[in-house]
A and B are shown apart, each in its own frame.
Chain A
Amino acid sequence: MTGIKDKKSARKRKVIFACVLSLLFVLTAPLIPYVIDAHAEDDITSKADKPAALQHPAINLWNEVRQRNEVTQGTSQVKGVDSGVLINKTGEDWRRFRMEMLMPYGAYFMGAIIAAIVLFFLLRGKLRLPGGRSGELLCRFTLNQRTAHWFAVGIFWLLGITGLILLYGRFVLIPLLGADGFSITASACKEMHNLIGPLFVFAVLALLVLYIKDNFFNRGDITWLTKGGGMFGGHVSAGRFNAGEKTWFWLVMIFGFLLCITGLILDFSIFGQGREIMALSHMIHGISALLLIAVSFGHIYLGTIGVEGTLEGMTTGYVDANWAKSHHDLWYEEISKTSEKPESSEQDINKGITSSSTKPAPNPAGD
Chain B
Amino acid sequence: MFEQFVDGIFWDIALIVFFVGIAWRLITVLLLRNKRIDYSEPRNSGFSGAIMANVRGFYPRKEVSSRIRLQVIAGYMFHLGLFVLLFFAAPHVKFIAQHITGFSYITIPYWGFIVASQFAFAGLILLWVHRVLNPVTRLISKRSDHIATILVFVVMLTGCMALGEASSELRVLHRFSVELLMIYFPFSALMHAFMFIPSRAFTGAFLGRRGVKV
| Chain A positions near chain B (C-beta within 8 angstroms) | 143-144, 146-147, 150-151, 154-155, 183-184, 187-192, 195-196, 198-199, 202, 315, 317, 346, 349-352, 363, 365-367
Contact = CB atoms under 8 A, between A and B. Distances in A.
A187 B166 contact: yes
Interface in B98-121: 114, 117-118, 121
Most chain-A Cβ atoms within 10 A of its Cβ — which of B129, B157, B164?
A: B129
A202 B167 contact: no
Contacts of B167: 183-184, 187
A188 B122 CA distance: 19
A188 B160 CA distance: 8
Contact of A350 (B117, B134, B166): B134
A188 B157 CA distance: 9
A147 B133 contact: yes
B160 A191 contact: yes
Contacts of B138: 365-366
Contacts of A147: 70, 126, 129-130, 133
Interface of B: 67, 70, 114, 117-118, 121-122, 125-126, 129-130, 133-136, 138-139, 157, 160-164, 166-167, 169-170
Q: Is the interface of B mostly helix, strand, loop or mixed?
A: helix
15 contacts: A143-B130, A143-B133, A147-B130, A151-B122, A184-B170, A187-B161, A187-B167, A189-B161, A195-B160, A196-B121, A199-B125, A317-B133, A352-B67, A366-B135, A367-B135
B169 A352 contact: no
Nearest to A144: B70
B135 A351 contact: no
Given A187-B166, A187-B170, A365-B135, A350 B67 contact: yes
B129 A154 contact: yes
A269 to B, nearest CB: 13
Nearest to B161: A188
A144 B70 CA distance: 8
Contacts of B166: 183-184, 187-188
A367 B160 CA distance: 35
The 9 closest A-B pairs by CB, nearest first: A365-B135, A187-B166, A188-B161, A191-B163, A150-B129, A367-B135, A184-B167, A191-B164, A195-B160
B164 A365 contact: no
Contacts, number: 81
A187 B121 CA distance: 20
Contacts of B157: 192
A214 B199 CA distance: 46
B117 to A, nearest CB: 6
A196 B125 CA distance: 12
A19 to B, nearest CB: 56
A184 B70 contact: no
Contacts of B139: 365
A198 B135 contact: no
Contacts of A184: 166-167, 169-170
B134 A143 contact: yes
Given A150-B129, A188-B161, A346-B135, 18 more contacts: A147-B129, A154-B125, A155-B125, A184-B170, A188-B166, A191-B161, A191-B163, A192-B160, A195-B121, A195-B160, A195-B163, A199-B118, A349-B134, A349-B135, A349-B136, A350-B134, A352-B134, A366-B135
A68 B194 CA distance: 66
Contacts of B170: 184, 187-188
Contacts of A192: 157, 160-161
A195 B130 CA distance: 23
A187 B133 contact: no
A198 B114 contact: yes
A102 B87 CA distance: 42
A184 B126 CA distance: 29
Nearest to B115: A198
A195 B67 contact: no
Contacts of B169: 184
Contact of A202 (B70, B122, B130, B161): B122
Nearest to B166: A187
Contacts of A196: 121, 160
Nearest to A193: B160
A147 B126 CA distance: 7
